[in-house]
Amino acid sequence: MTRSFLLVLLGVGTVLLFAPQASAQGSNIFEWNFQERGDAICTNLATGVTIDNHPPYAMNVAGFSESDRNIIAYDYNDIYALGFEKYAPGAFYLSIYKWYPSNNTAGSVIFRAKGITTSTVDEGATLSILSNGSLDLKDSAGNLVWSTGTGSAGATRMEFNMDDGNIILYHSTGAIVWESRLNNGLD
């Protein structure tokens, strides 16, 4: 059965609601084509996440904010979300975690991005989904904290499978370039 998904933007003030659309893949997968989309910057704000250059389809700006998680993308079938996880005041991990839209609460974390010197970022930090196929996490000062390191690997497509919480970057040949479950900084 085709399931639909939502991508959430927790915007500053305005609330726009688009109807959820059925996913073309027939499964619960958010897909991103790096070249078609160009660079997209997801910014972690107190009020939630804003995304520059977001796709025009299947996007949502939710009319709620969850105090401990600023969500970048989620599935509304009570499965997984990608977002900034508030770990301490002013300290957030880039994480994948269980998400329950029915009551706007988060469950267990299954992935954290692990940086070289530090893994948490502050308010104003960004996750860049880059057209060269890399995902880069930067703090508000622009310092690179974590990256998939795939900017030269020929990744053309990203899939976030919200049934199992895995993000996979694919080469145009279909080969897997990177996946979150094999690069998990969660100890």
Ligand X SMILES: *[C@@H]1O[C@H](CO)[C@@H](O)[C@H](O)[C@H]1NC(C)=O
Residues that bind ligand X (CB under 6 A): 78, 100, 102-103, 105, 130, 132, 134, 151-152
CB of 130 to ligand X, least distance (A): 4
Q: Which residue minimizes CB distance to ligand X?
A: 151
Nearer Cβ to ligand X, position 25 or 65?
65
Nearer Cβ to ligand X, position 25 or 41?
41
Q: Which helix (H) or strand (E) holds 36?
A: helix 34-37
Q: Under a CB-based contact definition with an 8 Å cutoff, are residues 59 and 52 in contact?
A: no
4 phi/psi in degrees, rounded to 5: -105, 165
Determine the Cα–Cα distance for residues 92 and 151; give it in Å rounded to an integer.
Answer: 24
Q: Under a CB-based contact definition with an 8 Å cutoff, are residues 51 and 41 in contact?
A: yes
Sign of dihedral through CA atoms 75, 79, 84, 86?
positive
Residue 115: CB atoms within 10 Å: 19
Nearer Cβ to ligand X, position 11 or 71?
71
Nearer Cβ to ligand X, position 136 or 159?
136
CB of 38 to ligand X, least distance (A): 10
Specify the residue for token string 């990256």. Answer: 147
Half-sphere exposure of 183 (CA within 13 A, CB side): 21
Nearer Cβ to ligand X, position 11 or 162?
162
CB of 27 to ligand X, least distance (A): 21
CB of 24 to ligand X, least distance (A): 27
CB of 178 to ligand X, least distance (A): 13
Q: Under a CB-based contact definition with an 8 Å cutoff, are residues 71 and 64 in contact?
A: no
